A and B are shown apart, each in its own frame.
Chain A
Amino acid sequence: MKNIFTTLFFLAFALVAEAQVDRTQMPEAGPAPEINLKDPQTFELRNGLKVLVVENHKLPRVSIQLSIDNPPVLEGAKAGVSTLTGSLLGKGSKNIKKDDFNEEVDFLGARINFGSQSAFASSLSKYFPRILELMADAGLNPNFTQVEFDKEKQKILTGLKSEEKSVTAISGRVGLALAYSKKHPYGEFMTEESINKVTLTDVIQFYEDYFVPANAYLVVVGDIKFDDVKTLVEEQFTPWTKAVPPSFGFSKPADAQYAQINFVDVPNAVQSEITVENLVSLQKKDPDYLSALMANEILGGGGEGRLFLNLREDKAYTYGSYSSLGNDKYVPARFRATASVRNAVTDSSVVEILKEIERIRTEPVTKEELENTKAKYTGRFVMALEDPSTIADYALEIETENLPKDFYKTYLEKINAITIEDVQQAAQKYIKPDNVRIVVAGKGSEVLGNLENVTFKGRKVPIKYFDKYANATEKQDYNTSVPTDVTANTVLNKYIEAIGGKEKLEAVTSYSLLAEAELQGMKLNLEVKKTNKDQFMQDVKMSGNSMSKQVFNGDKGYMVMQGQKKDMGPDEIEKVKGESAPFPELNYLNTDITLEGTESIDGKKAYKLKISEEKTAFYDVETGLKVQEATTAEMGGQSITSIINYLDYKEVSGIQFPFTMAQTVGPQSFEFKVSEIKVNEGTSDTDFE
C-alpha cells in the first residue's frame, strides 16, 4: 500500500515537473541582465599623456593602445604625408635595427603596429615590460631613413596605380571630395603627383608636429598591476617632449542645395557604384544619437535592413545594399546609402534607394522592426563586453567625446526606451533626401540615358558631371549615332591608312613582338609571332613559367594551358585563323562586320565595330587608330569580358604599332609595355610547330 502510494506520489510529482516546462512554447527571456561596467584606473604624465589601465587577470596577456586624438589634418599639396609617416614608423628605432626589432617581437610571440598617430602592441603579460619598451622606443626615437622612405613610397605609388580604374576607388574618392570639398581634410586624397612631392623631411616634420603627447591616450588592458604600469609608463614615456600639434582652420562643408546626381564616367565599368549621401552634424553625445543609429539600422544596417530586402531580396539588382551613419566631434559626418548594381538597373536602383530613404522619414517603422533591432543592439553590446578592452574603449570615448559618465552604464536602458516616434524624428533630422548627392560612378554610354529620366517627388533630378578626381566637367557626348557616310568599311580603311597604308601592310610577311607586364609583383612576359601564312604563336609567361601558349601552323595547332597540352578543335582553329593574320583588319574589309555606333573610350569618341559575337573593336573617330578590343568568353557558366586598350602608337618599319597594351579582366588589370617589335624578321617555320 505504502509502495503504491509512493509510486503515485512520484508519478504526480513527475507530472508536475513536466508541466513546469511546456516545450511547445518558446521560453520567454528572463529579466534583462545587469551590466556591470567598471571604470578604468587613470593617471596623467606631465607632458599631457593620459593613461587608462584596465586590470583583467583572467588571461596572462596584455594589450597596449596608443591613440593621439588630434583634430583632422589638412595635408594639401603633399597629401599622403601622413600615410607615409605611418608606414615608416615601427621599423626599429635609433637604438635597435629593424631586423633585430622584428626578430625580437617574433621571438616573444608578440606584435607591434604603428599608424601615423597611433600604435598598438599585444603580448603575454610576462613580456609586457619589454614590449612596452620596444613600442615606446620605436614611437619616440624613430629611425626615418631614405632607403625605407623610397621603398614605402614605391609601394604607395604601385597601390595608386593598381586602383586607377577601380570603380569602387573612384566612387569612394569622389563621394568624399564632393561632400567635403578637396580643400578639406576629409575630402582631399593622395595622387601620384602629391606623393611625389613628399620628401623624407616632410615626413620628419609631420612626425614632429603631430606625434606629440598633448592629445595622446595610452590604454593598457590585461593581466598587469596598475602600479607596475604606472612605473613602467612613467619610465618609458616621460622623455616624450611636451608639445601641442599646430592647428589650422579649414573650410566648412555644406550640403547640396537640392537633390542631384553627381555623375562620374568610368568607361570600363560593368557595375555602377551608387552613393546617396548627405552631411550630418551628429556627435555621440547628442541625445538622439542612439535613435538615429536605430533609424539607420532599420533602413540599411545589414541583411535584415530595408535596402537589402528591397534591392537584393525583392529586385535582385545587387548582391547587397546598405546604409551608414557617421558621427564626428570636429566636423560634419556623412549619412550614406550605397549599392553596386548592374549597369542596366542603375537608374532603377537610384529610384528605389531614394524611395527607401524617403519612406524611413515619412512612415513610422513597425513595432516588430524596432523590437528586433533593439534585440540586435542589446546582443551586440553584451557580446562586446566580454572583451576587456571594451571597458577601456568606452572610457576613452567618454573622455574624448565628452559623454556623460554613465553613458555606457545606461546604454541598454537608453536603447530600450527608444520609441517609434524617436526613430522617425531622428530619420527626419539626419536623412535629407531633398539635399542628397547621388554620386554615381559608371559607364556613361550605358547608364546615363536612363539616369537623365530619374525623377524624385515628381521632379527630374538634375545631373552634374565630374571626372574621376572630382573636378567638375561638361557633359560628355554619349551620342552613339554616326554620320550616314561612315560604314564599317570606311572605319577599317581609315585605320589601315592611319597605321601605314594597305600597301605597306600587305608587304608584311611576318612580325614578332615581345612585351612585359607586372601583376601583383610578378612579371608577365608576352611573346607573339604572326605570319601571312596564317601561322600564329602566342606565349604568356608568369615569372618564367608558361601559363598559356597557343601555336598554329596554318593547318593545325594546339594550346598549352598551365602545363596541359590540348589540340585545337575546328572551332578554335576558326577563331585562331581570324587572329593569326599580321593585320586582321585587312581581312575584315567587305565582310558582315557591323558598325554599332560610337562610344567614349578614355574620353575620346571611337567607332564601335562588332567583329563577332564575342568580340568588339573601337577605332578613334579622329585619328582612326584602334584604341580598344573587348572579348567576352564563357568561363564556368559566367561570362567574362577582357578589355585591351591600345596606346602609345610608334612607328616600326613604316608601320604604327601600339607600344602599350593595357588589359583588364575582372578586377585585375595590367599593362603590357612592348620592348621589341620586328617586322619581316625574327620568325621561322619552327616557331609554329
Chain B
Amino acid sequence: MKNKLLSGGFLLLAGFCLQAQEVTYEEYELDNGLHVILHQDKTAPLVTTSVMYHVGGKDRTDGRTGFAHFFEHLLFEGTDNIERGKWFEIVSSHGGKNNANTSQDRTYYYEVFPSNNLKLGLWLESERMLHPVIDQKGINTQQEVVKEEKRLRYDNRPYGQLITEVGKNLFKKHPYKDPNIGYMKDLDAATLEDVIAYNHKYYVPNNAVLVVAGDINVPDTKKMIEDYFGPIPKGEDVTRSYPKEDPILTEVRAKAYDANIQIPASVISYRTPGFKERDAYVLDMISTYLSDGRSSKLYKKMVDDQKQALQVGAFNVGQEDYGMYLVYALPVGETGLETLVTEMEEEIAKVRDSLISERDHQKLLNKFENQFVNSNSSVEGIANSLARNYLLYGDTELINKEIDIFRSITREEIMEVANKYLRPDQRVIIDYLPEEPQSN
C-alpha cells in the first residue's frame, strides 16, 4: 500500500519534470565583438543562420527617419561577391528560405537551409556584414520599393496608421514619436554619404548577434564562423542617449483620420515601461485578460452581450525604452465613441480596483504556458528568441525562464500594475475617424 502511494507520487513528479523544457545553447564573442550563440538541435537536418543588429527605427537623427527599415531592403541588393539581384535565387536554388524585418529597436535577417548548406548561410550573412554594395543605383531602386511598401502597408490599409498615431501622441521627445518606416521626404533627401555613414555606424559586428541553430556540429561550426566573420573589422562602440519623456499627468485627447475606413475606432493608449521591466510582463497578462478569446472580459461584454462593438482589443506594444499599451474598439450601429471609452474604462477600472478571480488567473497562466511552449516549436523561432533575448533583454537565458516570470505574477501584482500605468489621468484617447479620400 505504502509502496503504491510512493510510486504514484514518483510518477507525478516525473510527469512534472517532463514539462520543464530546456533550450541548450553556447555563447561566446569573436575578437571583433560579434556575439555568437549556437543551439544544437538534431530533430531535422536543418539550420537557421541569423543576424540581429541592434539598430531600428529609433536610431536616427531628425530629418533622417526610417533609415533602419530602408537598410533592411538595401542590404539585399548585393555584396562585393554577390551580384545585384541574385540573393533570393541563391537561397531558393539551394532549397532554403530567407527574410528580414525591422522594428523600432532592431533589425533581423535570417536564412533557413538544409544543414549541408550551413556554410552558404554563413557566407551570405558575413558578406552582408563585411562589404554590402551601397551605391546610388541601389538607393534609388529601394527608395521606390519602400514607398510602394508604405502605400501597401500604411496608406492604403484600413487602420494602417493607428500605431503611428498612437506613437505620435504618446511621445513628444523620444524617437518613438516617428513611424518606424520613416517619412518619405527623409528617404528622398538621403545622400549616398548619409547612407554609407549609417552603415558604418550600426552594421558592425560589435553591434550584432549571430545565431546558428539546428543540426550543426559545434566545433566545425565555430571554425566556419571564425573563417567567415573573423576578418570583419570591429566598428566604433554604439552609444545611445535618447531624451526621456515627461510623465503624462492629465488626459490627452486627439483625433486622427484614415481615408480607408468606414467605421471609426476609439483608442485608449498609455505609455508603459520598456519590455525589460517586470511590469511589462504584467501588462501583457492584463491585455490577454481583457481581450484574448471569446470569454475575455472586453469581448464578452462589448461584442457578445451588449453588442456595442464590432471588434475590441487590448495589446501591449513592447519596445526597448518605453512600451505602448492600447485598448481599442470599433462601434456597432449607433454606439458613440464616448460610450465605447466608458465601457472600456469600466473594465480597466475593475482590474485597478479589484483582484481578478482565481479561475481567470489560472486560465491566464494556461494561455501563457501554451504560448511559451509553442513559441519554441521551431528552430527558426528559437533562433529569433535567442537573438532577441541576448541583444535586447541582455539575458539569453530568458528563453528558458520567461515563463517563470509569468508564473510568479500574482493577482495582487496585476492590480498594482494596473494602478500604476492604466489610470484615466495617464491616458491618451484617440478618435480614429474615417476621412473622405482627398480628390486631387
B374 on the A face (CB < 8 A):
yes
CB distance from A174 to the nearest CB of B (A): 34
CB distance from B143 to the nearest CB of A (A): 20
Interface string of B365-396 (1 = CB under 8 A from A): 01101100110111100000000000000000
For the complex with contacts A31-B116, A379-B95, 8 further pairs of A-B residues with Cβ separation under 8 Å are: A24-B81, A25-B81, A26-B90, A26-B120, A60-B20, A106-B293, A107-B366, A562-B261
How far is A60 from B23 in the complex, measured between Cα atoms in Å? 13
How far is A543 from B96 in the complex, measured between Cα atoms in Å? 49
Question: Do the beta carbons of B434 and A563 come within 8 Å of each other?
Answer: yes
CB distance from B215 to the nearest CB of A (A): 7
Chain B CB within 10 Å — which of A26, A35, A103 has the most?
A26
CB distance from A127 to the nearest CB of B (A): 8
Interface string of A112-134 (1 = CB under 8 A from B): 00000000000111100000000
Question: Do the beta carbons of B45 and A59 come within 8 Å of each other?
Answer: no
CB distance from B93 to the nearest CB of A (A): 5
Residues of chain A with a CB closer than 8 A to B228's CB: 21, 23
A27 on the B face (CB < 8 A):
yes
Closest Cβ neighbor of B379 among chain A residues: A386
Residues of chain A with a CB closer than 8 A to B113's CB: 379
CB distance from B412 to the nearest CB of A (A): 22
Question: Do the beta carbons of A544 and B94 come within 8 Å of each other?
Answer: no
Known contacts A107-B363, A372-B92; is-contact A564 B123 (Cβ 8 Å): no
Question: Do the beta carbons of B436 and A544 come within 8 Å of each other?
Answer: no
Residues of chain A with a CB closer than 8 A to B378's CB: 386-387
Closest Cβ neighbor of B231 among chain A residues: A18
Question: Do the beta carbons of A564 and B435 come within 8 Å of each other?
Answer: yes
B1 on the A face (CB < 8 A):
no
Residues of chain B with a CB closer than 8 A to A344's CB: none
B180 on the A face (CB < 8 A):
no
Residues of chain B with a CB closer than 8 A to A566's CB: 436
Residues of chain A with a CB closer than 8 A to B82's CB: 26
Within 8 A of B (CB), among A611-637: 635-636
How far is A109 from B373 in the complex, measured between Cα atoms in Å? 12
Interface string of B297-341 (1 = CB under 8 A from A): 000000000000000000000000000000000011110000000
How far is A388 from B295 in the complex, measured between Cα atoms in Å? 31
Known contacts A30-B118, A109-B366; is-contact A60 B18 (Cβ 8 Å): yes
Closest Cβ neighbor of B16 among chain A residues: A126
In the assembled complex, 19 residue pairs joining A and B whose CB atoms fall closer than 8 Å, in A order, are A26-B82, A26-B123, A27-B122, A33-B45, A57-B18, A58-B43, A61-B374, A107-B359, A107-B362, A372-B93, A375-B93, A382-B46, A386-B43, A386-B44, A545-B331, A545-B333, A562-B261, A564-B434, A564-B435
Residues of chain B with a CB closer than 8 A to A124's CB: 19, 366, 369-370, 373
Closest Cβ neighbor of A542 among chain B residues: B262
Q: Identify which of A30, A385, A562 contacts B262 (C-beta below 8 A).
A: A562
How many chain A residues sit at the interface, stated as a range, is 35 or more
Q: Identify which of B92, B97, B120 contacts A29 (C-beta below 8 A).
A: B120
Question: Do the beta carbons of A379 and B123 come within 8 Å of each other?
Answer: no
A32 on the B face (CB < 8 A):
yes
Q: Identify which of A29, A33, A547 contacts B94 (C-beta below 8 A).
A: A29
Known contacts A23-B81, A27-B123; is-contact A304 B434 (Cβ 8 Å): no
CB distance from B32 to the nearest CB of A (A): 15
Known contacts A23-B126, A564-B436; is-contact A109 B369 (Cβ 8 Å): yes
A376 on the B face (CB < 8 A):
yes
How far is A60 from B14 in the complex, measured between Cα atoms in Å? 13
A482 on the B face (CB < 8 A):
no
Within 8 A of A (CB), among B118-134: 118-120, 122-123, 126-127, 130
B149 on the A face (CB < 8 A):
no
How far is A385 from B293 in the complex, measured between Cα atoms in Å? 31
Question: Do the beta carbons of A223 and B95 come within 8 Å of each other?
Answer: no
CB distance from A608 to the nearest CB of B (A): 30
CB distance from B224 to the nearest CB of A (A): 8
Residues of chain B with a CB closer than 8 A to A21's CB: 227-228
Question: Do the beta carbons of B366 and A545 come within 8 Å of each other?
Answer: no
How far is A77 from B263 in the complex, measured between Cα atoms in Å? 43
Residues of chain A with a CB closer than 8 A to B231's CB: 18
How far is A563 from B227 in the complex, measured between Cα atoms in Å? 63
A34 on the B face (CB < 8 A):
yes
How far is A386 from B261 in the complex, measured between Cα atoms in Å? 41
Interface string of A63-90 (1 = CB under 8 A from B): 0000000000000000000000000000
Closest Cβ neighbor of B215 among chain A residues: A33
Nearest 3 A/B pairs, CB to CB: A379-B95, A33-B45, A562-B434
Residues of chain B with a CB closer than 8 A to A223's CB: 18-19
CB distance from A570 to the nearest CB of B (A): 13
How far is A103 from B296 in the complex, measured between Cα atoms in Å? 11
How far is A197 from B44 in the complex, measured between Cα atoms in Å? 51
Residues of chain B with a CB closer than 8 A to A544's CB: 333-334
A665 on the B face (CB < 8 A):
no
Interface string of A522-546 (1 = CB under 8 A from B): 0000000000000000000011110
Closest Cβ neighbor of B227 among chain A residues: A21
Question: Do the beta carbons of B44 and A382 come within 8 Å of each other?
Answer: yes
How far is A388 from B264 in the complex, measured between Cα atoms in Å? 44
CB distance from A45 to the nearest CB of B (A): 25
How far is A561 from B260 in the complex, measured between Cα atoms in Å? 12
How far is A551 from B433 in the complex, measured between Cα atoms in Å? 22
A380 on the B face (CB < 8 A):
yes
Question: Do the beta carbons of A636 and B367 come within 8 Å of each other?
Answer: no
Residues of chain B with a CB closer than 8 A to A385's CB: 43-46
A147 on the B face (CB < 8 A):
no
How far is A592 from B96 in the complex, measured between Cα atoms in Å? 63
How far is A545 from B433 in the complex, measured between Cα atoms in Å? 14
Within 8 A of B (CB), among A341-383: 371-372, 375-380, 382-383
Residues of chain B with a CB closer than 8 A to A126's CB: 15, 19
CB distance from A350 to the nearest CB of B (A): 30
Question: Do the beta carbons of A379 and B373 come within 8 Å of each other?
Answer: no
Within 8 A of B (CB), among A26-55: 26-35
Closest Cβ neighbor of A58 among chain B residues: B43
A652 on the B face (CB < 8 A):
no
Question: Do the beta carbons of B333 and A635 come within 8 Å of each other?
Answer: no
How far is A321 from B112 in the complex, measured between Cα atoms in Å? 27
Closest Cβ neighbor of A548 among chain B residues: B262
B117 on the A face (CB < 8 A):
yes
How far is A376 from B88 in the complex, measured between Cα atoms in Å? 13
CB distance from B370 to the nearest CB of A (A): 4
A686 on the B face (CB < 8 A):
no
A108 on the B face (CB < 8 A):
yes
CB distance from B221 to the nearest CB of A (A): 12
Within 8 A of A (CB), among B1-59: 15, 18-21, 43-46
Residues of chain B with a CB closer than 8 A to A29's CB: 94, 116-117, 120
A507 on the B face (CB < 8 A):
no
Closest Cβ neighbor of B378 among chain A residues: A386
Residues of chain A with a CB closer than 8 A to B117's CB: 27, 29-30
B272 on the A face (CB < 8 A):
no
Question: Do the beta carbons of B120 and A27 come within 8 Å of each other?
Answer: yes
Known contacts A23-B81, A124-B366, A304-B92; is-contact A59 B18 (Cβ 8 Å): no
